[in-house]
Structure 1
């Protein structure tokens, strides 16, 4: 799959007119519809898209090929983080409301418990000794102040997940750092949770988070790994259309090489 073409199909072409004449000539072609400029992302000539101009050194760094595939993968993680935000946010709101009417909520929970057990039994799970079920039942004995603190904790956790989701979706470097650190902080707890009891859900959640941390550090060169941000930007420039054309112009000059 050509990820560059896929990116242009979604976002449109990105063209740039360098002020250097010899380089400008290599990036433009006349057409009946007007001048067509070479797209910095897919390399095709286009008469539409986001167009800008200036010195070649100031050309925008456009993600191409594998970088677009990486962007798509991070957006998958972003959607997963957004789902967590929604679940945690709903839980925080539920706990906050629940502290005012524990008796009513407990009655509703006890009435729904048989149906919950039957549902999970049909899926192959036995929730009779579930930690989550035990936590919910224990929460009915907590005083309102403790429940308020619990709601605040869940809300903070939800906000962390939301910031991760936004940063990863936008592909911002701060978002990559934030997601890596925020995810790493909870890995020790997940490891401890696995020592208590191994379930497919816990193993899956731990594997996803661990892979995200490794992927971000390695591919995005965080914390100076593999040369850090400077090496990351240098690789983007080396793969850009502008750089390729500059190299071609230089190679064509007499006496070069």
Structure 2
């Protein structure tokens, strides 16, 4: 896997400022100088890709760092999908205002035609939450629909911004996700009390787990030492990457 990543992104060679580590990561060959890749451990001909103190070496995503990146990007993907759907809904509501009368007539004429089928499968069409929501939207005033559409568009943009921050593994994205998800939890709890479904339970559990994970793992809002402890942990892991690479073994593998 490491070789595949290096083949796609290029080797991650690093020349530390510390002489002992620098010497162990460097080799002279008949073809010239070579430096050990921090990701795959192979020696690569040419100048190092980066230089600097060992503590500032890039954090190669493997082990815990790789797990964190995967979790954050899964959350980001969920935000991207939700954001696209919300934007589409907002656009649809705004466009729908101009043809509301025609859609309202179609709704009242066509929905009753589904009742024989829904009766057979045990679905109470008249008391369906989906149908009730559609009915409320259709019967809303035009200016109300406009504000609903604008609100949906704004929410969709926020979802995409949140997803971008998480995908890029940015600190502000983690705070953004934590705050936005936390504000949504009371609404999810209320919806669950209004109507219990396993889908809503699963969504609530996932969002609670995301909040706890971000708080504890990323040390947000000063938890477990806050940003200083988080950066110190990253620097320590970065130094370990250089030391392990200098020993000629992949990072995270005990010597």
Q: 1:193 to 1:242 in 2, by over 3 A?
A: closer
Residue 91 of structure 1 and its aligned partner are, at CA, apart by 0.7
Give the Cα separation in 1 of the matches to 2:7 and 2:146. 48
Partner of 1:255: none
- Which sits farther off after the overlay, 99-108 or 171-180? 99-108
What TM-score does the superposition give when structure 1 sets the normalisation length? Answer: 0.81
Aligned 1:73-84 pairs, distance under 5 A: 73-84=71-82
Q: Which runs of 5+ in 2 are unaligned?
A: 248-255
> Cα RMSD (Å) of the superposition?
3.3
Give the Cα separation in 1 of the matches to 2:136 and 2:218. 43
Structure 2 residue aligned with 1:71, among 55, 59, 69? 69
- Count residues with an aligned counterpart: 246
Question: Deviations for 1:202-233, whole angstroms, at most 9, x for unmatched residues?
Answer: 11211111111111111111112122222222
- Which sits farther off after the overlay, 171-180 or 39-48? 39-48
Partner of 1:18: 16
Q: Which gives a bigger RCO, structure 1 or 2 (Cα 8 Å, sep 6+)?
A: 2
Q: 1:12 to 1:49 in 2, by over 3 A?
A: farther
Q: Is 1:35 matched up with 2:33? A: yes
Give the Cα separation in 2 of the matches to 1:69 and 1:126. 44
Give the Cα separation in 2 of the matches to 1:194 and 1:27. 57
Residue 31 of structure 1 and its aligned partner are, at CA, apart by 4.7
What TM-score does the superposition give when structure 2 sets the normalisation length? Answer: 0.81
Residue 187 of structure 1 and its aligned partner are, at CA, apart by 0.3
Aligned 1:1-257 pairs, distance under 5 A: 8=6, 11-31=9-29, 34-47=32-45, 51-110=49-108, 113=111, 128-241=126-239, 245=243
Q: Which runs of 5+ in 1 are unaligned?
A: 250-257
Q: 1:47 to 1:233 in 2, by over 3 A?
A: farther
Give the Cα separation in 1 of the matches to 2:121 and 2:237. 49
